């Protein structure tokens, strides 16, 4: 797999991909929703559960809680001691509190209302795939609040000032990118047509499009790895578990 695969929007940078892209084959998930193509900004959520030494996550228990809350086929993803559930907002009501009660002492965080969304509306009349695979990654913003604001401002105006980035996503047939934030932590969900390979699609974002490389280089100073990452490691994949 190529170490320079580009994930676009704002974050996935070359230094991250060198350490994490080799796990891409395990990171692409067929997350089942009642209407996959309707997962849009404001209608999806992420719940993150972080283990502590005195609180371990029982996957069967977590899955049962999700199913009891209406998630018929809950997809649970994991990186080290971080567990994530990604689904539509209609199933979110009460789920966070139930997870908190079941795993008292663990850290439970909810990510709602993504601050960035790319979808196929930016691609003219190109069709939308009916079923998607999803890749979920996480990283932190740097601690400097001035740089955090710059990062958010860049994203707020990206479609107007950096249209080449979304053009790259269109060329790669990305169906949607959502970026969530809770404190300094970011969650990125990349949606591609079911059965597609991220390794095959990603290089198309930069074909005859050097402006995308400029954007990617610009974003490096705003991101860093979450606790537990290796030196120089930024974005990490969350893999599906307990299926």
pLDDT band at 89 (very low <50, low <70, confident <90, very high): low
What gap in Å lies between CA 93 and CA 97, rounded to an integer?
9
Over residues 1-8, mean pLDDT: 36
Average pLDDT over residues 64-78: 87
In this predicted model, which residue has the larger pLDDT, 213 or 73? 213
Band (pLDDT 50/70/90 cuts) for residue 91 is low
Question: Could you tell me the domains of the chain?
Answer: 1-39+114-238 (no CATH), 43-112 (3.30.70.260)
Is the model more confident about 86 or about 19? 86
Coil, strand or helix at 178: strand
Least confident of 69-73, 153-157, 221-225: 69-73
| Mean pLDDT confidence for 120-147 | 94
Q: What is the mean pLDDT of residues 152-177?
A: 96
Q: What does the pLDDT read at residue 83?
A: 96
Tracing tokens 């601050």 back to the chain, one arrives at 115
Number of H helices, E strands in the chain: 9, 12
Residue 181's DSSP bridge partners are 186
Average pLDDT, the chain: 83
* DSSP code, position 23: G
**pLDDT above 90 for 122:** yes
The predicted structure's pLDDT at residue 42: 52
What pLDDT shows up at residue 137? 94
**29 three-class SS:** strand
């Amino acid at each position: 797999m190529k170490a320079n695969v580009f994930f676009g929007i704002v974050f996935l940078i070359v230094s991250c991909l060198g350490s994490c892209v080799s796990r891409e084959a395990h990171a692409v998930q067929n997350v089942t929703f009642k209407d996959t193509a309707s997962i849009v900004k404001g209608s999806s959520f992420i719940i993150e559960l972080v283990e502590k030494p005195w609180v371990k996550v029982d996957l069967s228990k977590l899955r049962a809680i999700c199913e009891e809350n209406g998630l018929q086929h809950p997809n649970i993803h994991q990186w080290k001691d971080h567990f994530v559930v990604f689904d539509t907002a209609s199933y979110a009501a009460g789920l966070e509190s139930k997870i908190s009660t079941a795993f008292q002492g663990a850290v439970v965080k909810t990510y709602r209302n993504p601050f960035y969304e790319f979808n196929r509306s930016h691609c003219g009349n190109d069709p939308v795939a009916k079923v998607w695979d999803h890749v979920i990654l996480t990283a932190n913003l740097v601690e400097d609040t001035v740089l955090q604001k710059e990062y958010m401002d860049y994203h707020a105006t990206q479609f107007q000032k950096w249209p080449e980035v979304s053009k790259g996503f269109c060329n790669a047939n990305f169906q949607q990118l959502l970026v969530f934030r809770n404190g300094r932590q970011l969650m990125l969900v990349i949606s591609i047509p079911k059965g597609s390979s991220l390794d095959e699609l990603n290089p198309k974002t930069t074909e005859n499009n050097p402006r995308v490389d400029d954007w990617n280089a610009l974003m490096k100073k705003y991101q860093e790895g979450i606790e537990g990452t290796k030196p120089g490691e930024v974005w990490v994949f969350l893999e599906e578990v307990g299926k």
